[in-house]
Amino acid sequence: MRGENYKVVILGANGTMGGGAAAMFAGGGCHVTMLARDPAKAREGLIDAQSIAKAEALADNVTLGTYDHDMDRAVAEAALIFETLAEDLALKHEFLHRVDHHRRPDSIVATCSSGLSIADMARGRSESFRRNFLGIHLFNPPHMIAGTEVVPHDATDPAVTATVVEMLRKVFRRKVIIARDRPAFAGNRIGFKVLNEAAQLADEHGVAFIDYLVGPHTGRAMAPLATIDLVGWDVHKAIVDNIHARCEDDEAHACFKLPAYIEKGVQEGHLGDKTPERGGFYRRDGKAVEVLHPGTGRYEPFKAPARIDFVERMKSLNRVGRYGDAMAALAKASGWEADIARQVVIGYAGYALNRVGEVAESADDIDTIMSYGFNWAPPTVIIDLLGPNRAIGMLQRYNLKVPAVVEQAAANGDKLYKGGMLDYGRTFVG
Amino acid sequence: MSTPPVYVLGGAQTDFARNWTKEGKHFIAGMREATVGAMESARIEPREIETAHVGNFAAELYAKQGHLGAFFVDIDPAFSGLPTSRHEAACASGSISILAASAEIEAGRYDLAAVVGIEQMKTVDPATGGEFLGTAAWYEREAKGIEFPFPKLFGRLGDEYDKRFGLKDEHLAHIAAVNYSNARRNPLAQTRNWFMSEAHAQKTSKYNTVIGGRIKVSDCSQVTDGAAVIFLASAKYAAEYAKRRNLKLDSIPRILGWGHHTAPIEFGAKVAESRDNPYVLPHTRQAILDAFRRAEIDSVWDLQGIETHDCFTTSEYMAIDHFGITKPGESWKAIEEGVIEMGNKMPINPSGGLIGAGHPVGCTGVRQMLDACKQVTGAAGEYQVEDARKIATLNIGGSGTTSCAFVVGK
């Protein structure tokens, strides 16, 4: 499973995830063949991978090639074929059809897709392919974010899933969960609910205010709207539109409605950090930071919002590691701002834990992917720090569905989180 | 009269990959997390702790804060009034704290001590951090105005080996590769996801630049934020602890032996002093021998592994012959024969050491003791040394100046 005899082929070497995936596999000792449309593009992928690994010697474990000249032979020799092509189902089908034709019967084929259905991608393929096909969803950038979703479809051999999970954990040191083949899988389904809710709130309350109000002190490495800028507005739109269209029965369906100002911004090329001259929620010109006014579409000089006592109190408590006291400060705070913050925070924990059994097997899995895929506080930690009875009270106050696991915890007096402060402390920012 | 035993009840450490500054954290957050985690792990109640010792090198510089012993009291209301102190001996601060705490246990003053090692280093840029670390040498003579003085000092250690015995950089590269490889199995190691290969470590390149003398980036330990906590106990407390948990007293590890020596602070003075000695750092050698003698072991081969101070590859190269794995000057033989690798005769740094696991300066000695304790209790997970019964640690402050060695076992 490990070492130069384990051969991996990456399709889409120069794509967003190509370099990161190559750095991960080659760094774990595999021999990686990076394939792209032409040699220059494949080399771009290698340079990206070397930059991520901070090692030119990564190239010792890498061979470059093109789809026209090298793909069929490389696929025939590979133990794992990992596609990181653009999120276009027709394109994926074209390549996977070719992989199906040339692959060894025992090789594993994985897609890095973050949005398309794994079952749809497997449709029309041979039985052997379907048995050995699954999703390995790495979060971007994979060398910074260890959270990984393995996504089997109905025909994936459970032994293949188990092998891939074991390999990702032991060889590549990933924090792995098995996610269900549902729209956006587990992490993005939960995370983008919160991100889009923040974007909706920004329409009414302003960008800087919302990022301040439900910022890193509420248990996330980065403020939500800054996160959407980092992810890219186009990617955000693709994910929430997909969930909005395909999860009509979701209790938070309205939270996935893309705000009109984002729709318009995407059309006009405002894609966040990847379009620095046009910006997203924020636009930087040297040291000057401008912030979007969602109502007018214009950018205004960034002005720090007026300080709110409970926000400052939470930051100060997180800074010294008193995370439970910080959550208690949120619970006790008064004023309409506190209601918004509480609704977002408890809404996140409640929504996440209501997905147990739908997007992942257990609350533990959901904790893992939110903690290591998003760098957000695990949902059960929020419930534990608030106390399940107070959490239930907050959920009911905001007319949010109470998860069964929270009701059980309240009834039994159980702690929900499996780890300790050493595991979750990093997710609360001061 | 024999010295009363000091038991090690376990503990916990923070994830060394974290950046507390990016998290907006004061170091007390790390101290709190490690202490609470250690109490949970060892199942010790706050009210049971009778004294606390904090090892830290330079919080005054990195965090503009002294008096670190007092911060322990902030962790839990039950600690109010507890006798606490802070100890500093550069990179050996953690081990000096262990020595101070164990001396109190041996003297019968207290039955249960918490020992904290902590350093927050990512508050400043690398050049400023390098300047701060220079205060572990004789600053005015060896560090002032010099960029990254410590890599240069430990480069000189390599040069001294080269002069006396010959030294090939490929052997140093192998030490780096082994430590990174071990770190991949340690879930709390700073470099667990980093790329490293011997080929990368051997070559100077865009991503592996020379830091000073023969020392490249790959030869260096890490700049790390980290805290570790262990509990030391008297026989009386350990017996009650074992009884409450249905354990046999002899299943709890002890500090079997210790050694502590301080050499002249200037590197040049050390080398001049050892000119006619078979060992380049004879005081380090003596600290190891003292630990062996007190542990009543005949040689290094009575151990199953070592957690040593590889602040640079040259310091691990030095440790190999100073522990007696080879004759003086022949460390390369153990490297070539793979003796120091996991699964072989004398695994060095199963945790990844300072190069792989990370080096929060004042924390390192405590982290080493925690790892030694994990090894001899079979709790080291994927980096467990098979049948580990006795593990040694070596923690060094300055350029081989303060040397502390321990043997931990049952």
> Is B25 close to A422, i.e. CB distance below 8 A?
no
For residue B105, give the DSSP letter.
Answer: H
CB contact under 8 A, A56 and B205: yes
d(CA A407, CA A388): 7
Three-state DSSP at B285 gives helix
pLDDT of residue A286: 85
Partners of residue B34 in chain A, C-beta under 8 Å: 422
- A23 touching chain B per CB within 8 A: yes
Taking residues B131-141, report their average pLDDT.
98
Residue A187 CA to its chain's centroid (Å): 5
Average pLDDT over residues B312-337: 98
Question: Minimal Cα distance from B218: which residue of A?
Answer: A55
Distance between B405 CA and the closest CA of chain A, angstroms: 28
Quick check: A119 contacting B, CB < 8 Å?
no
Query: Per-residue pLDDT for B300 more than 90?
Result: yes
Of the residues B23, B27, B209, the best mutation for testing chain A's interface (the one with the most A CB atoms within 10 Å of its CB) is B23
Q: Across chain B, what does the average pLDDT equal?
A: 97
CB contacts of B30 in chain A (<8 Å) are 321
Is there a contact between A173 and B207 if contact means CB atoms under 8 Å apart? no
Contact in structure between A121 and A133 (CB atoms under 8 Å): yes
For residue B407, give both structure tokens: 């043997």
pLDDT of residue A4: 54
CB contact (8 A) between residue B29 and residue A216: no
* Per-residue pLDDT at B69: 98
B198 pLDDT higher than 70: yes
Mark yes or no for CB contact B25/A319 under 8 Å. yes
> Is residue B127 a contact partner of residue B138, using CB atoms and an 8 Å limit?
no
Q: At what angle do helices B93-107 and B364-376 cross, to 10 degrees?
A: 60
Residue the block writes with tokens 């090690």? B8
AA identity, residue B344 = N
Residue B240 CB partners (closer than 8 Å, separation 6+): none
Beta bridge partners of B232: B8, B113
Taking CA atoms, what residue in B is nearest to A49?
B195
Alpha-carbon span A201 to B404, nearest angstrom: 58
A60 touches chain B (CB under 8 A): yes
Cβ–Cβ below 8 Å for A421 and B33: yes
Taken as a whole, chain B contains a residue count of 410
Q: Which residue of chain B has the CA closest to A25?
A: B195
For range A377-406, the mean pLDDT: 97
Question: Between A58, A321, A428, which is nearest B195 by CB?
Answer: A58
Query: Given a cut of 60, is residue B399 above it in pLDDT?
Result: yes
Residue A2 scores a pLDDT above 70: no
Residue A5 has pLDDT above 90, yes or no: no
List pLDDT tens digits, range A287-307.
899 999 999 999 999 999 999
Instruction: Say yes or no: A418 contacts chain B, CB-CB below 8 A.
Output: no
Contact A58/B at CB under 8 A? yes
Categorize the per-residue pLDDT at B322 as very low, low, confident or very high, splitting at 50, 70 and 90: very high
Residues A425, B29: C-beta atoms closer than 8 Å: yes
Task: Please check whether residue A8 is in contact with residue A34, taking contact to mean a CB–CB distance below 8 angstroms.
Answer: no
- What pLDDT is recorded for position A285? 86
Rg (alpha carbons) of chain B, rounded to whole number: 20
Closest CA to B224 of B384, B10, B3, B57: B57
Nearest-CB residue to A422 (from B34, B192, B207)? B34
Q: Does A319 touch chain B (CB under 8 A)?
A: yes
* Contacts A54 to B, Cβ<8 Å: 194-195, 207
Q: Which among B23, B187, B208 has CB closest to A429?
A: B23
Residue-wise pLDDT tens digits, A251-288: 999 999 999 999 999 999 999 999 999 999 999 988 89
Q: How far apart are CA B161 and CA A306, in angstroms?
A: 62
Q: What is the pLDDT of residues B335-350, one digit of tens each?
A: 999 999 999 999 999 9
Letter for the amino acid at B232? L
Does the pLDDT at position A3 exceed 90?
no
Q: What is the mean pLDDT of residues B249-271?
A: 98
Domain ranges across chain A: 7-178, 187-426
Q: Do A57 and B192 touch (CB under 8 A)?
A: no
Measured from the Cβ of residue B50, the count of other Cβ atoms closer than 10 Å reads: 18
Q: Per-residue confidence at A16, pLDDT binned at 50, 70, 90?
A: confident
Q: What's the CA gap between A381 and A387, in Å, rounded?
A: 9
Contact check, Cβ <8 Å, B34/A315: no
**3-state DSSP call for residue B25?**
coil
**How far is the C-alpha of A25 from the C-alpha of A112, rounded, in Å?**
13
Q: Does A422 reach chain B within 8 Å, measured CB to CB?
A: yes
Nearest C-alpha in A relative to B181: A28
Q: Strand B402-409 and strand B390-397: pairing?
A: antiparallel
Kindly state the tokens that stand for A300.
Answer: 């205004």
Question: Has domain A7-178 been given CATH number 3.50.40.10?
Answer: no
Cα dihedral A356→A357→A360→A362 (10° resolution)? 60
Judging contacts by C-beta atoms under 8 Å, the chain B residues touching residue A172 are 193
> Cβ separation of B32 and A421 shorter than 8 Å?
yes
pTM for the whole structure: 0.96
Report the pLDDT value the prediction gives residue A287, as an integer from 0 to 100.
86
State whether A173 and B37 contact (CB < 8 Å): no
Best of A426, A427, A428, A429 to disrupt the B interface by mutation (most B CBs within 10 Å)?
A426
Chain B partners within 8 Å of A216 (Cβ): 24
Specify whether the CB–CB gap between B227 and B363 falls below 8 A.
yes
Residues of B in contact with A56 (CB under 8 A): 200, 203, 205-207
Residue A1 has pLDDT above 70, yes or no: no
Nearby residues of A376 by Cβ (< 8 Å), 6 or more positions away: A191, A219, A220, A221, A348, A370, A427
- What single DSSP character describes residue B249? G
* Cβ-defined contact of B28 to A320 (cutoff 8 Å): yes
For residue B305, give how far its alpha carbon lies from the nearest alpha carbon of chain A (Å).
Answer: 23
**Residue in chain A lying closest to B202 (CA):** A57
CB atoms within 10 A of CB B142: 21
Percentage of chain A lying above the pLDDT 90 cut: 96
**The domain made up of A187-426 is a member of CATH 3.40.718.10:** no
B294, with CB counted inside 10 A (0-12, 13-18, 19+), is middle
Q: Which chain A residue lies closest to B31 (C-alpha atoms)?
A: A321
Residue A12 tokens read as: 């889409």
Say yes or no to pLDDT of B30 above 80: yes
Nearest to A320 among B13, B29, B196 (CB): B29
**Mean pLDDT estimate for chain A:** 96
Which residue has 């499973």 as its token pair? A1
User: Contact, B7 vs B251, CB < 8 A?
Assistant: no
Which residues, 6+ apart, have CB-to-CB distance to B68 below 8 Å? Answer: B54, B56, B59, B86, B118
The CA distance from A213 to the nearest CA of chain B, in Å, is 16
Residue of A nearest to B194 (CA): A53
Q: Give percent of chain B above pLDDT 70.
A: 100
Q: Given this model, what pLDDT does residue B55 score?
A: 98
Choose the closest CB to B24 out of A146, A319, A420: A319
pLDDT score at B1? 56
Tokens of B187: 């879930």
Q: How many Cβ contacts (< 8 angstroms) between chains A and B?
A: 96
